[in-house]
Chains A and B, each alone.
Chain A
Amino acid sequence: MQQLADSLIAQGMFGANPPRDLIYALFIFVFSLIVFLGIAFPFAGIVSWVERRVWARMQSRCGPNRVGPNGFLQWLADGLKHICKEDLIPADSDPALFKFAPYLVILAFTLPWAVMPFSSQLILADLNVGILYMTSVTALTVVGVLMAGWASNDKWSLIGGIRSAAQIVSYEIPAGLSIFPAVLMAGTLSMQGIIKAQGWAPWTWFAFSNPFTFIAANVLYISALAEGNRTPFDLPEAESELVAGFATEYSGMRYLFFFAAEWGNLFIIGAIITTLFLGGWQFPLISNNAVVMNVLQLITFNIKVLFLVFISVWVRGTLPRVRIDQLMSLCWKYLVPISFVDLVGTAAWIAIWPSGNSVAPWIMLALFLAIVVTFLRRVLHYFRRSKMELYLSPTI
């Protein structure tokens, strides 16, 4: 950012002696707007469409397919509809907090984009504590959700808010502990630093570098799903138990904010894991042109993230919801000990092979591919067993 601003100032675009700090601030402001309004919010919307389509196909349905090509503009239509709706505020609620809570949630959703490493140069701010910053600002969601649950003055909302608080606070621990194996391997907290410590090839990614990091990546994904209130951990908004949980009393734009944040958070979850374990934007150096490389890296990064987003949609289409006590026991009895073992194991691994074991990544990768192949065979098994002709005719 600074280089770009400097070069424009040198060209005399802002007069002879411009206020430099002001121009930097202006640049950051404009770029943030582009990121938030041009990437974050449309992404949240598009994910909502993808989720509904993928989910529908898993359920033998069609999903939204009327607005735009294949229903692609459904998210815009839904967004517009929500914005046009009446902003209802319950009579006995705490109006100030009730109005403020969605903004806090949306704030927690937008802040992490500041350190989002889209490519080697496209990053708003490469903080030296990037990953720490990311985990801490995403935890702001809990304040918004708790506030919404409390201010609604509805018992279902209150239970949803309290559940959310308990859940997010608990799952911060395994999430935080699972980040550290990657940090240990890279030796830095900076997002770009962690990515640069990995290569473009799968056997150079941290996820496959040793068994502990592989498990850590999975634990982190599970914890991140729980922090993002996604199935199977969607207890705060458990539809069949709490009506709509903390969002019961919300409608219109404020309701939209909650769900934009939920869907947008999927990108952040994917980005964290991609950065830490899946090689981030790393792409083989095939061109010396910085623009070409940046575009390729941007595409690589987004493909990885979108694949993780797809997995979360897929999991949501498959799994039931856990109960609150099972949620807690999963966290404290399973994920926390496992992530501690991972942390110690990774540390020991680094102590034994400081420059990395050259065989382990290949074994890990082979194991992973074996799992994928087994999985595909099961998919084909279920596919072949289905009597297709019954599916193809709408009436028997």
Chain B
Amino acid sequence: MSIRTEEMTLNMGPQHPSTHGVLRFVIKADGEVMREAIPDVGYLHRSIEKIAEKVGYHGFMPYTDRVDYVSAMFTNQGWAMACERLGGIVVPRRGEYCRVIAAEFNRIASHLLSVGTMGMDIGAMTPFTHAIREREMINDLIEELCGARLTFNYMRIGGVGWDLPPGWREKALAYLDHFDPIWEEYNALISYNKIYVERLANVGVISTQDAIDYNLVGPNLRGSGFKWDIRKDIPYSVYPEFDFDVPVGTGEFGTLGDAMDRYMVRIREMRESSKILRQALNRIPDGPVLAKVPRNFKPKAGECQVRVESSRGDMGWYAVSDGSAYPWRVHVRTGSFAAMGMINKLSRGLMIADLVTLIASLDVIAPEIDR
């Protein structure tokens, strides 16, 4: 007599605790081992691109916060840069510095959330609250800067909405002094923990070629050992003025391009961001922060594509103007959507527990996938 076995179809999400928002995966599993995991996107689609065609150039700025709510500064910046290129506006230098400062703080906050939830998905609750504690302090700073903690709406077409408040620079530098040594503690707590390394190393290995073929961007691409950072390679804003490195995966804990590499790239990127922030805060020039832009901004007919290195990688903003006060078409290209396309391939042969690791290591954010 032979025992009949069959594949088990598991439905993971959209209300699963570790799917980071509303994602859904249909898992075909043989016991603990997955045959494949089929991602199902679209639960958070809010037609943000279509809304842009109705609310005009200035009015779309708050909506960009919702494209990627964990790192809203970059979506702000992408949209502002697209409009500036359409309208031929030059941002004052102080404005650019304010943008870089806000954006790099946001990058740290976003990566903190990513590495914190990574720990939580692996089962350690303490690193998450430690990361969130640090993120709260950044949120306090950003709140003082622009009045909101999540949906910043800080940038405007032609600069930023608010100048740095008095005394803010000192607070920010004091925070960085606190933040830099925290990493030794955080790494001792979780990053070098043997169980953690074992869970992450050699899981979800993406070869350099695969990462390029599947169009991965940001830390996911750099984790596979390919050095590609828009801030360095297609410089925008005032990034060429700063001295910073682009960390890439080294495969020190396992194979090149595994989950641990992506995790370590994020941790090292936070230090680089801190380096940029110190330079920017010390060197910020005087002057206006906002260029003069008419209230009814009507750029000449044309199209443009800008690229921003968001915390989830190369974010493309494509805008078409027909000369009216409303954009004719807006499209956002985000890193999370490309990363979702890779999950099906990577999930084959992994265990169910590894899928959670994989999603967390790719750092997908549900609203960024669907927009």
Direct contact of A and B (CB under 8 A): yes
- In the assembled complex, the CB of A257 is this many whole angstroms from the nearest CB of chain B, namely 22
Stretch at the interface among A198-206, A279-287, A315-323, A346-354: A315-323
- In the assembled complex, the CB of B196 is this many whole angstroms from the nearest CB of chain A, namely 5
Structural contact, A241 and B195, CB atoms closer than 8 A:
no
Q: Provide the A369-388 mask, 1 if CB < 8 A to any CB of B, else 0.
A: 00000000000001001110
Chain B residues within 8 Å of chain A by Cβ, number: 43
Structural contact, A60 and B120, CB atoms closer than 8 A:
no
Give chain A residues whose Cβ lies under 8 Å from the Cβ of B356.
240-241
Structural contact, A319 and B195, CB atoms closer than 8 A:
yes
Q: Provide the A201-227 mask, 1 if CB < 8 A to any CB of B, else 0.
A: 000000000000000000000000000
| Cβ-neighbour of B353 out of A243, A323, A382 (below 8 A) | A323
User: Could you jot down 22 A-B contacts, CB within 8 Å?
Assistant: A55-B125, A59-B128, A59-B129, A59-B130, A232-B195, A234-B123, A235-B353, A240-B121, A318-B124, A319-B124, A319-B195, A320-B123, A320-B193, A321-B124, A322-B199, A323-B199, A324-B353, A326-B198, A382-B185, A387-B178, A396-B137, A396-B175
Structural contact, A159 and B140, CB atoms closer than 8 A:
no
| Cβ-neighbour of B351 out of A234, A320, A325 (below 8 A) | A325
Give chain A residues whose Cβ lies under 8 Å from the Cβ of B193.
319-320
Give chain A residues whose Cβ lies under 8 Å from the Cβ of B199.
320-323, 326
- A231 interface contact, C-beta 8 A: yes
Give chain A residues whose Cβ lies under 8 Å from the Cβ of B121.
240
- B184 interface contact, C-beta 8 A: yes
Please measure, in the bound complex, the distance between the C-alpha atom of A318 and the C-alpha atom of B122, giving whole angstroms. 12
Give chain A residues whose Cβ lies under 8 Å from the Cβ of B189.
318
Identify which of residues 306-359 in chain A touch chain B, using a CB-to-CB cut-off of 8 Å.
317-326
| Cβ-neighbour of B17 out of A163, A243, A395 (below 8 A) | A243
- B126 interface contact, C-beta 8 A: yes
Please measure, in the bound complex, the distance between the C-alpha atom of A322 and the C-alpha atom of B352, giving whole angstroms. 13
- A390 interface contact, C-beta 8 A: yes
Structural contact, B125 and A59, CB atoms closer than 8 A:
yes
Structural contact, A320 and B190, CB atoms closer than 8 A:
yes
- A155 interface contact, C-beta 8 A: yes
Chain B residue, CB-CB nearest to A387? B178
Structural contact, B18 and A241, CB atoms closer than 8 A:
yes
| Cβ-neighbour of A159 out of B18, B32, B120, B177 (below 8 A) | B32
- A239 interface contact, C-beta 8 A: yes
| Interface residue SS majority, chain B | helix
- In the assembled complex, the CB of A262 is this many whole angstroms from the nearest CB of chain B, namely 15
- In the assembled complex, the CB of A246 is this many whole angstroms from the nearest CB of chain B, namely 15
Q: Provide the B348-363 mask, 1 if CB < 8 A to any CB of A, else 0.
A: 0001111010000000
Chain B residue, CB-CB nearest to A58? B126
- In the assembled complex, the CB of A326 is this many whole angstroms from the nearest CB of chain B, namely 6
Give chain B residues whose Cβ lies under 8 Å from the Cβ of A163.
32
- B300 interface contact, C-beta 8 A: no
- B10 interface contact, C-beta 8 A: yes
Please measure, in the bound complex, the distance between the C-alpha atom of A320 and the C-alpha atom of B194, giving whole angstroms. 9
Q: Provide the B167-180 mask, 1 if CB < 8 A to any CB of A, else 0.
A: 00001001101100
Structural contact, B123 and A232, CB atoms closer than 8 A:
yes
- A81 interface contact, C-beta 8 A: no
Please measure, in the bound complex, the distance between the C-alpha atom of A243 and the C-alpha atom of B137, giving whole angstroms. 30
Structural contact, B195 and A320, CB atoms closer than 8 A:
yes
- In the assembled complex, the CB of B299 is this many whole angstroms from the nearest CB of chain A, namely 39
Structural contact, B119 and A159, CB atoms closer than 8 A:
no
8 additional A-B residue pairs with CB within 8 Å, beyond A238-B123, A323-B354, A390-B178: A60-B129, A156-B10, A239-B123, A240-B122, A240-B123, A241-B352, A242-B352, A323-B198
- In the assembled complex, the CB of A384 is this many whole angstroms from the nearest CB of chain B, namely 11
- A61 interface contact, C-beta 8 A: yes
Structural contact, A60 and B130, CB atoms closer than 8 A:
yes
Give chain A residues whose Cβ lies under 8 Å from the Cβ of B140.
395-396
Give chain A residues whose Cβ lies under 8 Å from the Cβ of B125.
55, 59, 317
